[in-house]
Amino acid sequence: MGCEEASACNNAMIRVAVLGAGRIGKIHARNVAAHPGCRLIAVADPLKAAARALASSLGAQASADPAAVLSRDDVDAVIIGTPTDTHVDFILEGARRGKAVLCEKPIDLDISRADHAVAEVERLGARVMIAFNRRFDPSAAAMKRAIDAGEIGEVRQVIITSRDPEPPPPGYTGSGGVFRDMTIHDFDMARFLLGEEPVEVLAMGNALIDPETPEGYDTLMVMLRTASGRQCHINNYRQAVYGYDQRFEVLGSRGLLMNENLRPTTLRRWSGERTEAKDPLLYFFLERYAEAYRLELDAFVAALDAGNAMPVTARDGRAALRLADAALESAQTARAIKV
């Protein structure tokens, strides 16, 4: 990554459009603008003011029409950060026009629409990557490399603790519920770390923070099992007062791997009351996974440059959604769901 000779780079630069100028669109647009292998062509958002503000600060064009931007000839790749119910349409439109696509999760809230999208993408041989950003976190990636290198022998149990600092804002609807909105990241991480497909899901959910939450649950636990008997536990909570808690642990027959949360500083305070007191965690995903978003873009660009397969496929996006559906069913029926 990176090139010192600008002239050499320009020839190979990938021309990118970002659809959606919300908080996730901003992250992607800025990373594209700063990436030595990309040029940010345009930002599109029906909220024209948002598109304009973001585009102008980055020297790109603004548009209120994502579909129009998607069809521009001078765009090689699109990053989709629009509302979930538009994902499949933009993915398929991009795929048909030969654009490389990096799309935010989830692929859709409806598994049959997701199935349709996967089938179409595969039929077209399109280059579509789903943005499960956590895989690109340096510690998660190092954990995966250590597993794949056999450092801990056979994987036995994966423990995923994933807690948000606060629930979605009141107006946040259409998420499809907490399993499809929040846990879906953990389902992807479970698949990533287990190294095998889960075939059985058990879940329980409660609404302890807000009994009226439109998401159904805000406090939940899940167990997954693969065909060979590898197990995974996930716990989620929507209001961890100490910050965005992201811990992954993999037990193997020959060892254990753990990551650690990130904080704004490394300061440790000692007093007559407490020792080794650290800062609260980085607030939320934008701060916690800032580096992961950059490395995710890197991986996308690198795969395009090399003509390699996408590091996270539409099929991966569909698989996580299927687990979310199964977890919801398990939580509602109090029994294991086969996947």
Residues 53-72 that bind a copy of itself (CB under 8 A): 53-54, 56-59
CB of 48 to a copy of itself, least distance (A): 15
Judged by CB under 8 A, the residue of 69, 257, 292, 314 near a copy of itself is 257
Which tokens in the block code for residue 51? Answer: 């598109």
Peptide bond into 106 cis (omega under 30): yes
Binding segment toward a copy of itself, per CB under 8 A, in 11-19, 119-127, 222-230, 305-313: 222-230
CB of 193 to a copy of itself, least distance (A): 13
- Measured from the CB atom, the residue of 229 and 307 that comes closer to a copy of itself is 229
Which tokens in the block code for residue 330? Answer: 């398990």
Which tokens in the block code for residue 11? Answer: 């020839």
Q: Is 275 in the site for a copy of itself (CB under 8 A)?
A: yes
Q: Is 313 in the site for a copy of itself (CB under 8 A)?
A: no
Binding segment toward a copy of itself, per CB under 8 A, in 83-91, 94-102, 118-126, 134-142: 134-142
CB of 19 to a copy of itself, least distance (A): 19
3-state secondary structure of 331: helix
Spatial separation of the C-alpha atoms in residues 335 and 147, rounded to whole Å: 31
Residues 224-243 that bind a copy of itself (CB under 8 A): 225, 229-231, 233, 235, 237, 239-243
- Measured from the CB atom, the residue of 108 and 164 that comes closer to a copy of itself is 164
Say if strands 14-19 and 255-258 run parallel, antiparallel, or are unpaired. Answer: unpaired
In 3D space, the residue among 20, 26, 28, 62 whose CA is nearest the CA of residue 45 turns out to be 20
String of contacts with a copy of itself for each residue 4-23, x by CB under 8 A = xxxx----------------
Our measurement of the distance from residue 14's CA atom to the centroid of its chain's CA atoms, rounded to an integer in Å, reads 22
CB of 329 to a copy of itself, least distance (A): 13
Please give the helix or strand (H or E) that residue 192 lies within, else none.
helix 184-194
> How many degrees, rounded to 5, is the angle at CA 116 between CA 110 and CA 117?
90
Q: Is 146 in the site for a copy of itself (CB under 8 A)?
A: yes
Spatial separation of the C-alpha atoms in residues 261 and 38, rounded to whole Å: 30
CB of 238 to a copy of itself, least distance (A): 10
Half-sphere exposure of 163 (CA within 13 A, CB side): 17
